[in-house]
Structure 1
Amino acid sequence: MNPLIRFFRTKIYTAVFLMVFILLVGVVGYRLISGYSWVDAIYMTVITMTTVGFGEVVPLDQGSKIFTIILILGSVLIMGYALSIITEYILSKNNIEELKYRRMQKQIDSFKNHVVICGYGRNGKQAAKKLLAHNKEFVVIDKNREMEERLQLDEVPYVIGNANEDEVLLQAGINRASSFISALPDDADNLFVVLSTRQINKNINIISRASHESSYDKLKFAGANNVILPDKIGGDHMASLVVVPGLMEFLDNLSIVGKSDINVEEVAVEKLFSSGELKTIKDLDLRKKTGCTIIGYKDEKGDYTVNPEAELLLVPNSKIIVLGRPEQIESLNSQYNIK
C-alpha cells in the first residue's frame, strides 16, 4: 500500500474513533448528570456536537451546563480535526499519483546500463518477463494511458509518453542505457524511434521488431544492431518442430524462464582472467572447475564460432558462450565474481 494512503487511513481512523468517543461521553454524561432518557441524551449530544442551535429538551441545571460547555469545546476540537483530515485528504488525493510518479522517476534516474523497452504489447511484455527473470534493470515506454494499469500490476518501472519525442526517451534514461528494444507494432514507428535512439546514444545496442521483411534493411540502416521478424521466426519455428522436433524441444528448454534445468550464459573473457595475459579455452578448464561447457565463441569483431577448439586463443573484447545447469552457471558466476 502507498505510504501516503496508509498515513491518511491511520489519521481518518483516529478521527472516527474520537468522534465516536465524544458521542458516547455525551450520551452517558447527559444520562447520568441530567437524568435524560437514552433518546433525549442522544438528541442533546448530537445537537451539541453539531452546534445546530436547537433548544434543550428540559432546562439544564448548573452541572449539566458545565458538562455541556466541556462537550461543546471537545466536540469543536474533534470535529475540526476530522474536517481538516478530510480536507487534507481531498486536496492531497490528486498528489498521490504525482508522488508515485516522482518516486518511480527517481528509481529510473538511478539506473545505468539498463534496458529500455518501447511498447508493452505481446513482444514487449515477453521481453520484460525475460529481463525480469534475469534480474536485469529495465524501463518500459508506452504511449497508451490504458496500458498503465497493466504496467502497475506487473510492477515494472515505466514512462507514459510517445517514444518519438526525445524528451520521453531521455526520461527513460536512454542516454545511460546499454540496450534498447523497439517492440512497436508499426514499422514506421520503429524506424523513427530507432533513428532517434541512435542519435542520442551512439553506443547503445538496438534490437527492433519488424512486421515486414522490406523494413529489415531500413531499420538496419537507421541504426538497429538486430532486427527481429516475429512472424518469420514463428513460421520457421513451427516448421522446425516438424523437421527436427527433438532438437527444437531442446533449444526451447534453453530459453524457458525459471523452469529449465539447462541454461546458457555469455561471458566476457576479461571477467575470467587478467587482460594482461592470454589464455586458451583449454587453459580455462571451465568444465572441471564449474561443470559448464563452452559451446561458442564470439571474437572482437563479432564473428561467432560454434563448438570452438580447445586451443583457441581468447583475445581481449571477445566472449564465450557456456552451457550448463543453473547450479553450474551459479558456480561459474561465483568463482569469477560475475554479476
Structure 2
Amino acid sequence: MKQPGHDAMARQADESLVTRRVKLPNPIVQRPLQQVGKRLLMALAVLVLTVCLVYFDRAGYHDNANGTVDLLDCVYYATVTLSTTGYGDIVPYSDGARLINVLLITPLRVLFLIILVGTTLEVLTQRTREEWRLKRWRAQLREHTVVVGFGTKGRSALQTLLATGLPKERIVIVDPSSKVIDMANAEGLTGVIGDATRSEVLIRAEVQKARQIVIATQRDDTAVLVTLTARQLNRGAKIVTAVREEENAPLLRQSGADAVITSASAAGRLLGLSVLSPSAGTVMEDLIQQGSGLDLIERPVNKSEAGKSVRDTEDLVVSVLRGHRLLAYDDPSASPLQLTDRVISIVRADAPQTTLGSGPE
C-alpha cells in the first residue's frame, strides 16, 4: 500500500526532472574569473578601510608585545579581526577605539565575510532561483509559438516570425541537441532539450497552451510523429510542418497539420522560375523574406472595404479566405468582400500590417 505522501513526492520528483530539461535564456552575467576578481577587490577595499580606521586611532590600541601600535600592527589587527581569528594580542582599550570597533569594524567584519562566501551562497541559491523563474515562466506563458527543430528551416521560420513583431518571450524552441538549445538561449530564446516525438517533451514546452506550432525537423517520419503528438495535445493550435518529399505531404495533413511546406519542391520551383525569369525569382524571394521590400500578409477585411470588389482595396489582394475556402482574386464569388473575410495581399514592408497567418482577434 502506498504512503499518503507518495504521489506528491513523485510529482515533485517529476517536476524537478522536467525543470532540468527546460533552459530559459540567462541574464547577462560576468565571467567566473571576473566575478572572483571583483569580490577580491571588494574584500581588499574593506581590509584597507579597516586598516585606515585602526591606524587613525592607533593610540587607543595596546599591543601586548611592546605596547605601541604601528602600521604593520594595524594591518595585522585588521586581518585577524575581519577573519574572526582574534588572537587578543592587540586590543582596543580607549573608549573611542572600542566605539569604532562596535559601530564600524564589526559591520565591516560582517561585510567582509559576506563577500568571501558570496560565491558559495550564489551557487546554493542558483537552483532555487532557476526553479522560481521556471514556475513564473510557466504561469505566464500563453498563446505562444513552439518551433520544433532549430536547423536552417527552423531558424528561417523564426526570423520571419520575429520580423512580424512576435516577441522572443512568446517563442519556445524544442531540439534534441543541448548545444543547439544553448545557441537559442544565447539569442534570448527559451529552449527545451528532448525528442519532440515524446509527449512529455512537448508538455515541457507548454505546447498544450500554444497558439501555433512550427515543425521543421530533419526527417519526414519524425515530422509525422511530432505532428501527431502535437495535435493530440492541442486540438486548436495552428500546425505548420515542413517535409522534404512531396509524397509525404498528404500523410502530414492526415496527421493534423494545417499547412505542409515541401522544402525540396519549393526550392526547385524557385530555381526553375529564376531560370525562366530571374526578375520573377527575385520578386518571389523578396515576398518570402519578411520585413524587406514587399511582404505577403494575411489580414481581416476592414469596414470600409466590406461590400467592395477585390480590386477596389488599397493594397494588392491575391486571395480571399472565406470560412475554410481560399478564393483567387479573379474568382467571381470573391467579390464583394464580406466583413468576416480575410484577405491575403501584397504590401510594402514598411506599411502597417497584420501578422501573416494570425487568426481573428
TM-score normalised by L of structure 2: 0.71
More helix by share: 1
Deviates more, 1:125-134 or 1:145-154: 145-154
Selected match of 1:301 from 313, 317, 324: 324
Distance 1:61 1:124, change over 3 A: closer
Selected match of 2:171 from 138, 148, 169: 138
Contact 1:117 1:182 in 2 (8 A): yes
What is the deviation of 1:279?
Answer: 1.7
Contact 1:169 1:197 in 2 (8 A): yes
What is the deviation of 1:182?
Answer: 0.9
Distance 1:81 1:44, change over 3 A: closer
Contact 1:19 1:79 in 2 (8 A): no
Partner of 1:286: 313
What is the deviation of 1:166?
Answer: 2.5
CA distance in 1, matches of 2:333, 2:312: 9
* Unaligned runs of at least 5 residues, structure 1: none
Partner of 1:220: 253
What is the deviation of 1:47?
Answer: 2.9
CA distance in 1, matches of 2:102, 2:176: 55
CA distance in 1, matches of 2:221, 2:334: 47
* Unaligned runs of at least 5 residues, structure 2: 1-25, 63-67
Structure with greater contact order relative to length (CA < 8 Å, sep ≥ 6):
2
Deviation readout 1:50-80 (Å, 9 max, x if unpaired): 34354647xx7943x9736853885454333
Structure 2 residue 90 is the aligned partner of structure 1 residue 50? no
Equivalent residue of 2:146, what SS? strand
CA distance in 1, matches of 2:108, 2:121: 15
Match for 1:286: what amino acid? T
CA distance in 1, matches of 2:274, 2:351: 29
Contact 1:124 1:183 in 2 (8 A): yes
TM-score normalised by L of structure 1: 0.75
Contact 1:131 1:138 in 2 (8 A): no
Structure 2 residue 222 is the aligned partner of structure 1 residue 189? yes
Contact 1:190 1:209 in 2 (8 A): yes
Match for 2:287: what amino acid? L
Structure 2 residue 97 is the aligned partner of structure 1 residue 79? no
Equivalent residue runs for 1:101-180 within 5 Å: 101-108=134-141, 111-112=142-143, 114-136=144-166, 137-180=170-213
Equivalent residue runs for 1:201-216 within 5 Å: 201-216=234-249
Match for 1:164: what amino acid? T
Structure 2 residue 62 is the aligned partner of structure 1 residue 30? no
Contact 2:327 2:334 in 1 (8 A): no
CA distance in 1, matches of 2:269, 2:334: 35
Deviation readout 1:279-335 (Å, 9 max, x if unpaired): 2326x9432xxxx222322333333314456982335754222222245445x99xx
Equivalent residue of 1:265, what SS? strand
Contact 2:181 2:192 in 1 (8 A): no
Partner of 2:21: none
Structure 2 residue 344 is the aligned partner of structure 1 residue 321? yes
**Matched-pair identity in %:** 20
Contact 2:60 2:92 in 1 (8 A): no
Match for 1:202: what amino acid? R
CA distance in 1, matches of 2:49, 2:77: 15
Partner of 1:253: 286
CA distance in 1, matches of 2:82, 2:279: 80
Contact 1:280 1:311 in 2 (8 A): no
Deviation readout 1:236-291 (Å, 9 max, x if unpaired): 3223211121111112222333332x22221233xx239xx962326x9432xxxx
CA distance in 1, matches of 2:72, 2:150: 62
CA distance in 2, matches of 1:311, 1:197: 34
Partner of 1:97: 130
Equivalent residue of 1:280, what SS? coil
Equivalent residue of 1:314, what SS? coil
CA distance in 1, matches of 2:334, 2:256: 36
CA distance in 2, matches of 1:311, 1:70: 88
Partner of 2:296: 264
CA distance in 1, matches of 2:222, 2:92: 82
Distance 1:192 1:91, change over 3 A: same
